[in-house]
Amino acid sequence: MRIATWNINGIKARHDNLLRWLEQESPDVACLQEIKSVDENFPRKAIEDLGYHLETHGQKSFNGVALLSKKPFEEINRRLPGDDSDEQARFIEGILSTDKGPLRVVSLYLPNGNPVGTEKYPYKLGWMRRLIEWSKQRLELEEAFVLAGDYNVIPTAHDTHDHDAWWGDALYREETLDLFRELLATGLTEAFRACNDTPHLYSFWDYQAGAWPRNMGIRIDHHLLSPEAADLLKGCEILKDVRDWEKPSDHVPVMLTLDCE
């Protein structure tokens, strides 16, 4: 089973690229972030015509996440528990049936947190703490699950083109990394690094300053796996060629492969 995560940076702007990519790669599951669309306006038909079941959790102009699957979802949960006042659309969980048992797949868009000196950074840290609690509760079920998405976290210096330029940013500072390590310490495996220890491989390149042709990137799109999912891990790769397409997202897809069938 191939499970991709991709921050598409707006379904309206990236609709044609998404369809082209789905036809080319044909993932079993696609976790999308930053769809920037309310649910009722999401262009469903062309995606469903390709054979995908589609679930969204959107909001107008900002954020928004989606799950696409060739198999129907047995259950869908929207919103990360822990804060009933949080109205931002950043989390959707789907449960699928596989030959190896149920598989939970989450598409998440963790808050950016910048500027650090505003309320945006405490919101990011609070969201991460809620995700840690979610992970602890799900791990108690002893089932396979995948937390896939744009984490807005640069895990190590090997995941940025320039440590000094990024250090102190909300994506790459001690408080952020402490909580990311705490999330991993619940028992999760970061799939890409479990498969590849080559430094300076990235999933995001800014639109400014020639970042893409100069390979000035960062790696912030991750799959975190429960122990039961990690036992099924076969591979994880960054599909960077998509960044060369016309009107690209500033992120590229990252593809996870699990031995589920």
Q: Where along the chain do its domains lie?
A: 2-258
Catalytic residue among 28, 150, 159, 169: 150
Please give the pLDDT value at position 20: 98
Binding site annotation covers 119?
A: no
Please give the pLDDT value at position 209: 87
Please give the pLDDT value at position 261: 74
Catalytic residue among 28, 52, 57, 109: 109
Give residue for tokens 């990024």: 166
- Mean pLDDT (10-residue bins), the chain, 261 residues: 98 97 98 97 96 97 97 96 96 96 97 98 98 97 96 98 98 98 98 97 96 97 98 98 97 97 74
202 catalytic, yes or no?
A: no
Binding site annotation covers 99?
A: no
| CA nearest to 240, candidates 21, 19, 11, 15 | 21
Binding site annotation covers 112?
A: no
251 catalytic, yes or no?
A: yes
Please give the pLDDT value at position 243: 98
Whether 254 and 192 have beta carbons less than 8 Å apart is answered as: yes
State CA 17 to chain mean position distance. 18
CATH architecture of 2-258: 4-Layer Sandwich (3.60)
150 catalytic, yes or no?
A: yes
Binding site annotation covers 196?
A: no
Catalytic residue among 57, 222, 223, 251: 251
Residue 95, token pair as written in the block = 């449960």
Binding site annotation covers 250?
A: yes
Please give the pLDDT value at position 175: 98
Q: Is the pTM of this model over 0.85?
A: yes
- Compute and round to an integer the Cα radius of gyration of the chain: 17
